[in-house]
Chains A and B, each alone.
Chain A
Amino acid sequence: MLPELGQFALILALLLSGLQAFFGIFGPMFARDRWVAAVTPAVAGQFVMLATSVACLIYSFISNDFSVLYIAENSNSALPLFYRVTAMWGAHEGSLLLWIFILSCWTVAVSIGVSRMPVRFGARVLGVLGVVSFGFLLFTLATSNPFTRLDPPAPDGRDLNPVLQDPALAIHPPILYTGYVGFAVAFAFACAAMLEGRLDQQWARWTRPWTTAAWAFLSCGIALGSWWAYYELGWGGYWFWDPVENASFMPWLVGTALIHSLAVTDKRGLFKSWTLLLAVLAFSLSLLGTFLVRSGVLVSVHSFAADPRRGIFILAFLVIMIGGALTLYAWRAPKLKSQAGFDLSARESFLLFNNILLVIAAATVFAGTMAPLISDSLGLGTLSVGAPYFNPTFMLSMLPLTALVALGVHANWKRGRLSEKQRMLLLTLIASVVLACITVFAIYSHGKILTPVAATLGIWIILTSLVDPIDRIRRNMSLSRSVLGMTVAHIGLGLFVLSLTTVESFTLEHDVSLAKGASTAVGAYEFRFDGVKSIEGPNYQGVGGTVTVTRHGEPLTTLYPEKRQYYVQHTTTTEAAIEMHYGSNVLVALGEDLGAGKWSVRIQVRPLVNFVWLAAFIMAMGGVVALTDRRYRVATTAGAEDTAVTGVTGEHAR
């Protein structure tokens, strides 16, 4: 019964989302206040229905109801309880339901948030969110229903893919989706502003916290995914430029541009149409990401089973949403003029270049991701685009960006006045060069040409970001949450650049063949292979190796890499053994029995790689700190003052 209840709730949610979309968009358009008043109840009702639906599916997973096709395919009675719950989003159908449920959570949050905004504007925002929800619900019910029954029921399930049986991956999709879907809110605000034909600084102030929250979630989600790939896929890579990784990375890049552009629109009333375009673009890329992942059009380690019907549906949905938004943009954006000017050295310029570079970076990633698809469909041959393309092109736009961050945070609005800070900037730059050279040449005594340059830039961002807050604290001045959040996020970026540079320049990796008792040296470390033995787990068996590690002759640790054989799917997985010592991750992965008593073993020493993920997390925390700023909570009154102070009025294009 429960699966039917879940499906019924899903159908009701579809109807409610249709009502939400209709009343939300046409209510304000025809000035029908009763229609407008019906929007919030529709949002609440839809949330209840979707929560019911999700609960039904999770309960069916817990109770091992293998008469449901999706559960028979993705769970097993031997699966631990925790993974039976997380198996709900272990494949296409369930993760789509999760997507919609998260959208509904955002919508409820927005419906509470818009109570401070004009009623009709709020209704429009919710209406646009309703359209998105309607499209996805229709897609789920038409092509990927998670509640489809299996007749006769399977005696047991086919189990969750073993590589997904992992705590990090269990929480990765909800967090990533929260970020992905969160850009729908920025998109809805942008569409609502275009429907009203009016966009002022107050609008930017409403939109900013939502966008920042989505961005913070997306940052965490991407970092978690990368961390998972590093330790669970077994071979020590942490970023593959895989289409699915790119699919989440492109919205992140554009989203980063958006939060900076929103800052300009908020503070100075500038970049209005650009901000709108970025909001549309960020969500379009989220949708495109969903399309890329779900339709299985790209060769990817991540893609779910390919189904052309799904692909065509999402493509149609994509065209309607993006096409509609861009049409609206073409119609309305010319009316939204920004009038104030600014100097070339003003903060606005730096943020403009930030935006340009981030969008260029997103465009190069986009080109590399789509090229194989386009070439294949045009019959130009099957090609693959990998790190040799992505790394240099990405660095080309990111290195100037990091330099601009160090300067830009010290430029004032309207007029830069950077010359007043010349001495400080120069001093921090010299300090950064010295520190970078010490790291690169004293510790590692080698490096590529760009290594000291990138390391310098990373350290420079950290130092210059610290100058202003320390100065303020010393002078007993208050430090707003916005500034604090920005500082934290920029320090995170500096740490990210620094640790990424170190990882990319100084990673040592060797595949070796070792007999029992044999040793091999990698850098300062020596690894002795002490043989393998059989192991057994709840739903797998396999072999475990023992590797004793010494550093400069001193005993350091013993590592136990495993090779597992899962019973149900007969999948072999490599469980690498990883430990952090002296800032470096030491990784040992067991390959295969080579005969003659020898095993192939992969040994990898990655310096500072943990700090790459930590840095991403710090960036996200910066976002969280920034969105708790007072000015977003008391926005209505503070907004009026701010406008008066800067002397820039939000032009209402009417």
Chain B
Amino acid sequence: MTPRQRRMSLVFGILAGVGIAGALALSAFRSNVTFFFDPTAVAEGHVKTGEHFRLGGMVTQGSVKRTPGSLEVHFMVTDFKHDVPVAYSGVLPDLFREGTGVVAHGHMDGNGTFVADEVLAKHDEKYMPPEVAKSLKRRHGEAREDALSAAPGSGGAAQSAPNAGSEGAGGQSPPSTTSTAVPPGTPAVGPTASAPTQVANAGVH
């Protein structure tokens, strides 16, 4: 082979490799990407039974129910228009609480219950996963979100560890303004304590 032919064959080889890899990646992409839906989208029938997706919304106040001693937990996820019942078996994340945002991964069973295999409670400082915030905004507009922010919190029942009592479990605390520094010794427990910034941004990676 002349150097030119060799170079051309090399280029073709590379292109073929990249092409195959691209095609495979694309197919992996199609079959492995999960979409995000809110309860209204679920109620409007955008998802098929058994299809895996991410459900996001707020955990309805007072909806967390657990058979004592069991890992099975049931709660409602709401976008304040529609509710979706969720069933989950396993350890809930530290930030999971009634009245706060949640994203769950799973599928709908035949009876209209979302069976979650993973529950995520990642928040920004407004207590809301960004995609949940966006979906709520879309459904209700800014005004509704502001009303939500102002809503007073009621005690959270999800967390019931003896000392890790329910803290600031209510609705959204106001967007963290800078002057809300808390003096030392503020009691950490008790349903009335507010949590100005529970930021789940876990680092600087």
Contact = CB atoms under 8 A, between A and B. Distances in A.
B21 A364 contact: yes
A567 B188 CA distance: 5
Interface residues of B, number: 71
B202 A77 contact: no
A16 to B, nearest CB: 26
Contacts of A653: none
B181 A542 contact: no
B44 to A, nearest CB: 14
Contact of A66 (B36, B94, B162, B181): B181
Nearest to A70: B178
B36 to A, nearest CB: 4
Given A386-B34, A570-B198, A305 B125 contact: yes
B91 A600 contact: yes
B124 A565 contact: no
B159 interface: yes
Contact of A356 (B6, B17, B91): B17
Contacts of B197: 158, 569
A314 to B, nearest CB: 16
B199 interface: yes
B204 A341 contact: no
Interface stretch (A1-9, A119-127, A390-398, A631-639): A390-398
Contact of A389 (B33, B185, B198): B33
A382 B122 CA distance: 16
Contacts of A592: 91-92, 158-161, 164
A385 interface: yes
A595 B66 contact: yes
Contact of A397 (B21, B33, B70, B164): B21
Contacts of A234: 94
A118 interface: no
A572 B25 contact: no
A173 interface: yes
Given A172-B205, A541-B163, A570-B167, A382 B91 contact: no
A73 interface: yes
Q: How large is the interface on A (under 10, 10 to 19, 20 to 34, 35 or more residues)?
A: 35 or more
Given A158-B197, A543-B164, A597-B69, A360 B181 contact: no
A437 interface: no
Given A371-B33, A569-B197, A600-B71, A164 B203 contact: yes
Contact of A384 (B14, B54, B182, B188): B54
Interface in A111-152: 150
A386 B184 CA distance: 40
A511 interface: yes
Contacts of B91: 235, 511, 589, 591-592, 600-602
B55 to A, nearest CB: 12
Interface string B1-44: 00100100010001001100100110011011111100000000
A524 interface: no
Contact of B69 (A341, A396, A566, A596): A596
A107 interface: no
Nearest to B91: A591
Contacts of A569: 195-199
Contacts of B6: 341
Interface string B102-136: 00000000000000000000101100011100110
Contact of A367 (B25, B189, B193): B25
Contact of B204 (A242, A302, A364, A396): A302
14 contacts: A156-B182, A157-B181, A158-B180, A158-B197, A248-B205, A299-B129, A301-B122, A304-B201, A367-B25, A367-B29, A381-B35, A543-B161, A563-B164, A595-B160
Top 5 A-B pairs ranked by shortest CB distance? Answer: A154-B181, A595-B68, A596-B69, A596-B68, A591-B91
Interface of A: 66, 69, 72-73, 76-78, 89-91, 95, 150, 154-158, 161, 163-164, 169, 172-173, 176, 225, 228-229, 233-235, 242, 244-245, 247-248, 293, 296, 299-306, 341, 352, 356, 360, 364, 367-368, 371, 381-386, 388-389, 392-393, 396-397, 511-513, 515, 532, 534, 540-543, 563, 565-574, 589, 591-598, 600-602
